[in-house]
Amino acid sequence: MQPIIDIHVHIMPYHMLKPAVLEMIKNGCKDYYADVERYLAQPKTFLRLLDSLGIERAGLINYVAPEIIGLMPEANDWIAQYCKVAPNRLLAFGGVHPGSVADPGAEVDRIAKLGIRAIKIHPPHQAFSPNDYLNGNRGLAAIYERAQANGLPLMIHTGTSIFPGARNLHAQPMLCDDISVDYPDLVVILAHGGRPLWMDEAFFLVRRHKNMYMDISGIPPQKLMEYFPRLEEIAGKVLWGTDWPGPGVPVIKDNIEKFHRLPIGDEAKRKILYDNAARLFPR
Ligand SMILES: [Zn+2]
């Protein structure tokens, strides 16, 4: 059976979330929210879910956005602890918010030592543009510099967010172009491929920059060929992800089945479902 890496799953400390944010997530997965709570409390139960879906590994997305979402720097410690049960299968994504720690560069070094495998930046929820280091945001420059030095991939949310308070001006993929120019060795993953407004920007950037990738999480598989008609051309740079559980994200199993039915070659599917992520996150 084709192994799968789902690089974008929201296992994070839900107890830190602002009430309005948590409410939105709960409404989005009403039918199975009780299960989600069990997965948050018991990583082994979550691993059994992954087993039942044929998912070998999952990227567990955490970031720091105190004002808009409620996630604090301690989210890093929480997810690092969670993933200790099976560090070969659970890939901890952490984050640094330049305004929330005294020394953002040192914080990247600290969380790398904890076992964090990648840094997530969420511009609409952190209220800055991904290239804000060009405007004097030295903390952001330090984050990129230390991520590159530690060999941690950087995932950047692109595309709209409808969470209360999200600032979508910062959600445009093109704002990430500068990063790959200035930090050419940093692996950058554009989460969500700019959906639903800026897919052509994401496609261009992934083709332009050697170390730029995108994930297709949060895109209904039946929309994928409409959003990215030339998906097969960039199959070596695209990572599978679901964004589960979130508003409008159906259960993982349905997504995988729909993806398998798309009119692209088996080799492209294998790269997207597994090979590319396996290469970026060696064991
Ligand atoms: Zn997400």
Three-state DSSP at 57 gives strand
What's the pLDDT at 161? 95
pLDDT for 247: 66
Write down the pLDDT at residue 29.
86
Q: Which residue has the tokens 């018991």?
A: 42
pLDDT digit string, tens, across residues 143-183: 999 999 999 999 999 999 999 999 999 999 999 999 999 99
Which H or E run contains 218?
Answer: none
Ligand 1 centroid–CA 171 distance in Å is: 13
- Reported as a pLDDT band with limits 50, 70 and 90, residue 243 is very high
What average pLDDT does this structure show over 233-237? 98
Instruction: Dig out the tokens for 156 from the structure.
Output: 């950047």
What is the CA(219)–ligand 1 centre distance, in A? 11
For residue 111, the CA-to-ligand 1 centroid distance in Å is 20
CA of 242 to the centre of ligand 1 (A): 8
Tell which wins on pLDDT, 216 or 250: 216
Ligand 1: distance of its center to the CA of 282 in Å? 22
Task: Decide if pLDDT at 248 tops 70.
Answer: no
C-alpha of residue 158 to centroid of ligand 1, in Å: 10
Residue 10 CA, ligand 1 centroid: distance in Å = 6
44 C-alpha to ligand 1 centroid (Å): 22
Split at pLDDT 50, 70, 90, the class of 30 is confident
Quote the ligand 1 centre to 133 CA distance (angstroms): 23
Exposure of 15 by Cβ count < 10 A (0-12 exposed, 13-18 middle, 19+ buried)?
exposed
Between 245 and 250, residue with greater pLDDT: 245
pTM over 0.85: yes
The mean pLDDT value for 239-252 works out to 81
Instruction: Give yes or no for residue 251 having a pLDDT over 80.
Output: no
Is 249 or 114 the better-scoring residue by pLDDT? Answer: 114
Distance 217 CA to ligand 1 centre (A): 7
**CA-CA distance, 57 to 276, in Å (whole number)?**
13
Three-point CA angle 137, 141, 144, nearest 5°: 140
- The stretch 9-15 carries a mean pLDDT of 96
Give the pLDDT confidence of 59-99 residue by residue, as tens digits. 999 999 999 999 999 999 999 999 999 999 999 999 999 99
pLDDT 10s digits, 95-149: 999 999 999 999 999 999 999 999 999 999 999 999 999 999 999 999 999 999 9
The per-residue pLDDT for 6 is: 97
Q: How far is the CA of 193 from the centre of ligand 1 (A)?
A: 12
pLDDT in tens, 39-66: 999 999 999 999 999 999 999 999 999 9
Q: Left if phi > 0, otherwise alpha if psi is -120 to 50, otherwise beta: which for 154?
A: beta
Give residue 70 CA to ligand 1 midpoint distance, Å: 15
Q: Tell me how far apart the alpha carbons of residues 182 and 274 are, in angstroms, rounded to a whole number.
A: 29
What pLDDT, on a 0 to 100 scale, did the predictor assign at position 28? 85
Q: Would the CA dihedral through 279, 5, 202, 185 be positive or negative?
A: negative
What is the rounded end-to-end Cα distance, in angstroms, of the chain? 20
What residue type is assigned to position 227 of the chain? Y
Average pLDDT, the chain: 96
* Contact indicator for 141, 135 with CB cutoff of 8 Å: no
Please check the confidence at residue 249 and state whether its pLDDT lies above 70.
no
8 Cα–ligand 1 center, Å: 6
- Quick one: pLDDT at residue 72? 97
**What is the arithmetic mean of pLDDT over 196-203?**
98
Å from CA of 274 to ligand 1 middle:
19
